[in-house]
Chain A
Amino acid sequence: MSVSLTINGNPRTLEADPESPLLWALRDELGMTGTKFGCGIAACGACTVHWDGVPIRSCQTMVGDLEGAEITTIEGVGGRAAEAVKAAWTSLEVPQCGYCQSGQIMSAVALLSETPRPTDGDIDAAMDGNVCRCATYVRIRKAIHTAADMLEG
């Protein structure tokens, strides 16, 4: 079956089992490996992408449901919030192993796009689904606040 959708602004057609997760279509069919596999059961957030700007877990999003969808991945995420988040992530040296960070960044960008000045409570709510086994959480929190400052500045 083929599904037509937009990925990072480009029209794409996926020839894949409709019951297969978007995660593996991105990684293995399209070679877009920035979106990571961490758990496969929506429990870690490593596979987070945006569907019409809303963060979703691509490991639990089936290709068959995506006809006409607009998907954004770490490779294509742009705009002011994304630039601020990436700059804050780099300057505060958030990543350790880095494997979770695509997902962290996608969740953080979605948060800041909705809530430009998040509280710690907002951050907990938006980011709790994103596991970091290196526990870089102190810096993730700080980087989101820093990015919020940049967006205001």
Chain B
Amino acid sequence: MQTLSRIPGELTRPDRRTFLKLSAGAAGGLLLATRLTSAAYAQGTETEFEQPFLHIRPDNSVTILSKHLDKGQGTATGLTTLIADELDAAHDQMRVEFAPSNPDLYKNLIYGIQGTGGSSAMANSFLQYRQAGAAAKAMLVAAAARQWDVPASEIAVSQGVVSHASGHTARFGELAGLAAQEDVPAEPVLKTPEQWVYIGKAFPRLDVANKSSGSPDTFTMDFQPEGLLVAVVARPPRFGGKVASFDATAARNVPGVVDVFQIPSGVAVLARSTWPAIKGREALVVEWDDSAAEVRSSDAMIAELRDMTAEPGVMVHEVGDTGAAMEQAEKVVELDFDFPFLAHGPMEPLDIVLLFDGETAEFWYGCQSQTGDHAGAAESLGIGFDKVSINTIWAGGSFGRRSPPDRHPVIEICEVAKAMLTAGMAPVPVKVVWTREDDITGGYYRPMSAHKVRVGLDGEGSVTAFKYAIAAKSIIKGSAYEAVMMPNGVDPSMTEGAHDTSYAFPAMRVNQAFQETQVPVLWWRSVGHTHTAYVMEVTMDRIALETGKDPVAFRLEMIKDDPRKANVLRLAAEKAGWDTPLPEGRYRGVAVHKSFGSYVAEVAEISLRDDGTIKVEKVTAAVDCGVPINPDNIVAQVEGGIGYGLGAILRNQVTLAEGVVEETNFDTYEPLRISDMPEIEVHIVPSNEAPTGMGEPGTPPIGPAIANAVAAATGKWITSLPMAKAGLV
């Protein structure tokens, strides 16, 4: 067992001193709202240089504080790249830690609160982190100039060494304390793209060596502070159910079980370690009250959604007179789609550690939404915001799962901790662990949805009207984000990728309707784009077929005022050899989609097996995400994003039988495996546009690219997922 001061992973927990210092800075009225105030916090001891975003130590290490959670998407290294470049540091002196929860200092500049999501980390940090690095470099240079009595303009910095033609040299660590005494430049000069040494080139990931050696304490699951107890929770088998009564006699008799508590979300079994907690829960006898629960089966819910797409619903977007254009159409192409609930299935199931002594609370976990979780914890525990601290730890995947707007994992562990104190226990850290069954059956799914598309064509085969109606449970409506994100009663996350398409339809209408159900829903890697890309891009191929046009040529014709989208499409088609004949038994499909500001086109090549199933042979992708900060990481995210989407469209669905989830683990909700993985080739468009994210945009195009290849192979349009239902897997 470790002590509480032991730090998980490579990260060092920002110590209290640092934390208080940073907080004190914030309380001093200097808000980080402007782009430069980060530098205004420059502080240090005689030998150290400390700013909110980077610390330089006498040992010559430069530690950057990542305000974003890294759950595999490479953000910690990405942010380090920005600072290392402006600082002209050497790769091997760079370290990374996660920043404490402090919205004044570390808010996401897009969202206004601290948190990671929407593929926004690089987009919102690109200037901020570079400015922090540039300011620090200017201060190191000023300190050296003063020390050596030479003009600052004559000093050079390269690979972590500050030097002057007179022969003086110093490493950052030697200058750290002096640099901290220098004035923070009001306008640090940023490099021009030609001067970048890492950005757009290579900066190896900082976490791969640890993650390739089973390094202890990397993840929350591994964090075992002294005295730790572990809880698993029996939650209602039907969403919206409650505990009616329970008998914990047998559970308490399981060796290692410490106590059993009823909490609002179910019954918590507290044990000395994980296995007794799991065994204890198995021994629990709980009667559930399903009177307010969702008791329908998923078939009935899908049927309801299909009906809802025929209703007018909420108008999201309208250009032209769709009704009139549709009436005058020569021909109307009709497509109806439905998509299932999907679980996120992060490889590390949800887990969270809390030490609460009645007055202060300290958390350790892969925290994705610091400000929301922080506020939720303070409220639940009845203590001040300043009495809560959150130590963010590397997370074993998320795909959206670790940032539910209702913060239920945080609220639940607060309830467990309060119950422990109420029971008279001395304060000890507790970890709530979700098993894989809890993860797959626990809700917070990608919403199930139905889509009705009607496309009007004139006598020449040109599109005259495009009507798109979607029905699903809204992720935003009824959540903490409704007031901010749905001011007009429209949930834009539901139809993103459709209502903002750059295909030039002379008339277009997009509607949405909200299903009511107790099944909790949540953003899943690429949110609304998970379904809209599929609908839009399959529809585009279907129209191309109807009008006898080549799918790539047809799209290029329809893309207006969006040269970057046209460009990635052309590039992917060219690299995939779109115009060259395929070997016998191979078929291609294409899709292009913009999400979170990034453009991705994918050409999928499949073959058909004798039994009618498909094998995805190869995917060729082209990406434009503005400045490609870490090209190799972009490639990795596209590879992973394709694999993540592919597993889902091929065979994943969460279904309900009378309200009870039927899939329970990776045997029945089977992820993509290595034998399913296609060869992948990724081409990145060189760009000096502002960078946009790549954690999600690789995922949306893969489904429609495969579906379009299946249509090319079989003539069948797959409009109901997963494809396994059509015998293709």
**Which A residues contact B (CB, under 8 angstroms)?**
17, 20-21, 24, 27-29, 31-41, 43-44, 46, 73-75, 86, 89-90, 93-102, 105, 123-124, 127-141
Contact = CB atoms under 8 A, between A and B. Distances in A.
Nearest to A140: B674
B396 A97 contact: yes
Contact of B208 (A29, A43, A93, A127): A93
B715 interface: no
Given A96-B640, A135-B672, 6 more contacts: A37-B349, A39-B436, A41-B666, A96-B73, A99-B347, A99-B348
Contact of B667 (A31, A41, A135): A41
Given A74-B213, A86-B213, A138-B679, A93 B205 contact: yes
Most chain B CB inside 10 Å of its own CB: which residue of A123, A127, A138: A138
Interface stretch (B215-223, B463-471, B564-572): B215-223
A140 to B, nearest CB: 6
B347 A134 contact: yes
B60 interface: no
Contacts of A101: 211-212
Given A33-B222, A33-B224, A138 B680 contact: yes
Most chain B CB within a 10 A radius of its CB, from A31, A43, A136, A137: A137
Given A37-B221, A90-B208, A94-B208, A28 B665 contact: no
B671 interface: yes
Contacts of A31: 1-2, 216, 224
Nearest to B254: A17
Contact of A135 (B214, B230, B346, B640): B640
Nearest to A107: B674
B402 to A, nearest CB: 11
B274 to A, nearest CB: 6
A78 to B, nearest CB: 11
Contacts of B537: none
Given A29-B273, A98-B207, A138 B214 contact: no
A123 B674 CA distance: 8
Nearest to B698: A135
B201 to A, nearest CB: 15
A93 B202 CA distance: 12
30 contacts: A27-B222, A28-B224, A28-B273, A31-B1, A33-B214, A33-B217, A33-B224, A37-B274, A39-B665, A40-B665, A73-B214, A74-B213, A89-B208, A89-B212, A90-B209, A93-B632, A95-B72, A95-B207, A95-B211, A96-B72, A96-B636, A97-B346, A124-B674, A128-B674, A133-B671, A134-B640, A134-B643, A136-B636, A136-B639, A139-B636
Contact of B274 (A27, A32, A105, A132): A27
Interface string B340-370: 0000011111000000000000000000000
A123 B647 CA distance: 19
B128 to A, nearest CB: 24
B395 interface: yes
A42 to B, nearest CB: 9
B162 to A, nearest CB: 30
Interface in B94-149: none
Contacts of B397: 96-97, 99, 133-134
Contact of B671 (A35, A131, A140): A131
B673 A131 contact: yes
Interface string B637-657: 101111110110000000000
Given A33-B224, A39-B666, A98 B275 contact: no
A41 B437 CA distance: 10
A98 B273 contact: no
B677 interface: yes
B208 A21 contact: no
A20 to B, nearest CB: 5
User: Chain A's interface: helix, strand, loop or mixed, by majority?
Assistant: loop
A137 to B, nearest CB: 4
B204 interface: yes
B195 interface: no
A131 B672 CA distance: 7
B396 A138 contact: no
Contacts of B13: none
A98 B218 contact: yes
A38 B436 contact: yes
Nearest to A29: B273
A39 B348 CA distance: 9
Contacts of B347: 36, 38, 44, 46, 97, 99-100, 131-134
B729 to A, nearest CB: 15
B15 to A, nearest CB: 23
Given A136-B640, A138-B680, A24 B275 contact: yes
Interface in B607-666: 632-633, 636-637, 639-644, 646-647, 665-666
B674 A93 contact: no
B554 to A, nearest CB: 30
B680 to A, nearest CB: 5
A134 B636 CA distance: 9
Contacts of B674: 123-124, 127-128, 130, 132, 137, 140-141
A17 B255 contact: yes
Given A73-B214, A98-B72, A124-B674, A135 B221 contact: no
A97 B395 contact: yes
A24 B222 CA distance: 11
A98 B394 contact: yes
B639 A135 contact: yes
A89 to B, nearest CB: 4
B158 interface: no
A29 B275 CA distance: 10
Contacts of A44: 347, 436, 666, 671
B282 to A, nearest CB: 12
A24 B1 CA distance: 14
Given A38-B436, A93-B632, A93-B636, A28 B675 contact: no
Contacts of A73: 214
B18 interface: no
B12 interface: no
B163 to A, nearest CB: 31
Nearest to B676: A137
Nearest to B664: A41
A105 B221 contact: no
B714 interface: no
Contacts of B641: 135
Contacts of A74: 213-214
A128 B680 contact: no
A97 B348 contact: yes
Contacts of A137: 643, 672-674, 677
Contact of A43 (B2, B74, B667): B667
Contact of A40 (B216, B399, B435): B435
A107 B278 CA distance: 27
Contacts of A140: 674
A136 to B, nearest CB: 6
Contacts of B679: 138
Interface in B39-82: 71-74
Contacts of A86: 212-213
A117 B191 CA distance: 47
Contact of B215 (A28, A34, A38, A93): A34
